[in-house]
Chain A
Amino acid sequence: MHHVILGAGPAGVVAAETLRKLDSKCKITLVGGEGEPPYSRMAIPYLLSGDIDEGGTYLRHDKTHYDDLDIKYVQANAKSVDSKAKTVALDGAKDLNYDTLLIATGSSPLQPPVKGIDLPGVSTCWTLEDSRNILKTAKKGDSVVLMGAGFIGSIILEALVKMGVKLTVVEMGDRMVPRMMDDTAGNMMKRWCQEQGVTVLTGAKIEEISGDKSGLQVAVSNGDKLDAKLVVVAAGVAPNIDFLKKSGVKTGAGVIVDEHLATSAPDVYAAGDVAEARDLSTGEWDVMAIQPVAVEHGYLAAQNMAGVPTPHQGSLNMNVLDTLGLISSSFGSWQGVKGGESAKLVDEDGFRYLRLEFSGDQLVGGQAVGMTENIGVMRGLIQTGYHLGDWKDKLMKSPQRLTEAYVAASQGVTHV
């Protein structure tokens, strides 16, 4: 049995390890497109800020990890898949035959259609190669413009500030992280960043980038003309599915999968950023490009590939972000559900915010700013669907009693 895994991010690596656990004899080939050993994009900001070296971003630290598990690592990009012949054509290595195939090719940054986006000095911040470029281009005191204050933009933001650059952030939405946090939270974060000396322009768009290596000019829709040594583009990501045209594998926004993470083609599965899989909160099929989901998918896809049918009940959307020391998180249906109720604690001066969303007496979503203690119980309550009974009323009055509510619900100290 030969399992081929395309993509060596968290989904691919976890899948390869899980397959080995389940079957000591099968042949496993892990195909990664980049020159480095499998690493974590999540760790890139800490590389930029100088907290770690490149080795610190690696998913596994033991140099012989993949050899020890008899996982064959191949550096190449997938050119095409023929799901009838069960072959993968690779760019940079010999084509492969597979018995089962996992598509875990992740996503790539979007290049918005802005004039000058391809100039030298304009970079995404997605790969180790990107981070080397950024570190080479921008030095302490240089002016840097960051396009996008979504989740990725906001994570890079902190790293750029730690590099000592003069930073301006340009975000099209009306607040920071508009797809992760509500307006109270997003504006609180904006105010926090501005108080730390970062210029944050919201409801603004970069219209044109001009100039050359010696310096760039950035024209913003509000009329500002910004000088920049470097422009970092963080305008979202999209699944890497282009190589699947004519493969027989159905795609939409991502690779379409069923509840076993199997695609429309026989013995082909998908996992991670590239898969359009079930969202636990909505029950809908969606691309959820976050680390914990990649790991879940990788694990489950491997079980199914190894012949241990394991359905995926859906993943919970969740994010955590540290923006210059202000920590925010959101979970599930943080924007609320129809017919639901909402409890809020707002402390603008203290930069603290907690919002809980209920459906009946069950927690379905939440977000927090400046509050981190036991924050995981938010996931616990949403995912278990515990009926909170009288604790729901307590939380409506005092949302900060969330951990108590979780312990009460899980230990049977509730009156439903």
Chain B
Amino acid sequence: MLKALVIDPGKCTGCKQCELACSLEQEGVFNVSKSRIRVFDFHEEARFIPYTCTQCDEAWCQQACPVNAITTTDDGVKVVHDNLCVGCKVCTIACPFGTVNYNASTGKVIKCNMCGGDPACAKICPTDAIVYADVEQAGHSRMEDWAKKTDSGAQATA
């Protein structure tokens, strides 16, 4: 069964524990600037919005990669293979969500990889604003709706 991060911004309190958990899991440090999930604080609106890769179906990053360094796991997760990534950064401009980033210290790109099936952000979230769940749930279909809005026609079957 395909699972995904189902994000409900209405439940987010802006505690940013997800950012800390992500950076620790992915980079081995407590440093929110290295997190692959980011919580946006719209304080004028009193809203917090956790934001990360939606693992889109026909992923722009994956299609744009000139050396096939981004592949899809059985769970539908788009993962970067460091041994193949040459660091050309085409995926970072191709992803319309801006959720593939270049890591200058390694010369490779990084993105959410769902922590190999046990995402740290969802585990730590105290309010269930981030849940690792079946993709059929409403949150994911909303993300797919955004994906369709940025469609150039190239992902007609997405």
Chain A residues in the interface with B (C-beta under 8 A) = 10, 14, 40, 42-43, 46, 51-52, 56-61, 280, 291-292, 295-296, 299-300, 303, 310-316, 318-320, 322, 325, 327, 329, 331, 372-380, 383-384, 403-404, 406-408, 410-411, 413
Q: How far is the CA of A303 from the CA of B153 in the complex (A)?
A: 11
A57→B98 CA distance, assembly (Å): 25
> Out of A299, A374, A383, which one reaches B150, CB within 8 Å?
A383
Contact flags B135-147 to A (C-beta < 8 A → 1, else 0): 0000000000010
A374 with B146: CB separation less than 8 A: no
Residues of B within 8 A of A (CB): 9, 38, 40, 42, 45, 47, 49, 51, 60, 63-64, 66-68, 84, 86-90, 92-102, 104, 107, 146, 149-150, 152-154, 156
- Not counting A296-B63, A296-B154, A300-B153, a sample of 13 additional A-B residue pairs whose C-beta atoms are within 8 angstroms of each other reads A40-B67, A42-B67, A42-B88, A43-B86, A46-B87, A56-B86, A322-B89, A325-B104, A376-B98, A380-B97, A380-B98, A383-B150, A406-B97
> Taking the nearest CB of chain A, how far is it from the CB of B56, in angstroms?
12
Asked if residues A314 and B156 are in contact (CB atoms below 8 Å), the reply is no
Please tell me which one of the listed residues A10, A327, A379 contacts residue B102 in the complex, with CB atoms under 8 A apart. Answer: A327
Q: Which of A292, A322, A331 has the most CB of B within 10 A?
A: A292
* Known A407-B51, A408-B42, A411-B49; contact A42-B90, beta-carbon cutoff 8 A: yes
The distance in angstroms between the C-alpha atoms of A42 and B99, with both chains bound, is 22
Contact A291 B90 (CB under 8 A): yes
Are B153 and A374 in contact, CB atoms less than 8 angstroms apart?
Answer: no
Q: Which residues on the A side are within 8 Å of B51 (C-beta)?
A: 407
CB <8 Å contact, A52 and B86: yes
CB contacts (< 8 Å) of B102 on chain A: these are 327, 372
Is there contact, CB below 8 Å, between B92 and A375? Answer: yes
Distance between B61 CB and nearest chain A CB, rounded to angstroms = 8
Inter-subunit contact A376/B94 (CB<8 Å): yes
Q: Within the assembled complex, what's the spacing in Å between the Cα atoms of A320 and B49?
A: 28
Chain A CB within 10 A, most for which of B66, B90, B149: B66
Docked CA distance A56–B42 (Å): 43
Query: Which one, A40, A280, A329, contacts B152 given CB within 8 A?
Result: A280
In the bound complex, do residue B96 and residue A377 qualify as a contact, i.e. CB atoms below 8 Å apart?
yes
- Contact A411 B150, CB 8 Å, known A373-B101, A375-B98: no
Top 10 closest A-B pairs, CB basis?
A374-B98, A380-B96, A377-B98, A40-B66, A376-B98, A296-B154, A42-B66, A376-B95, A46-B86, A313-B153
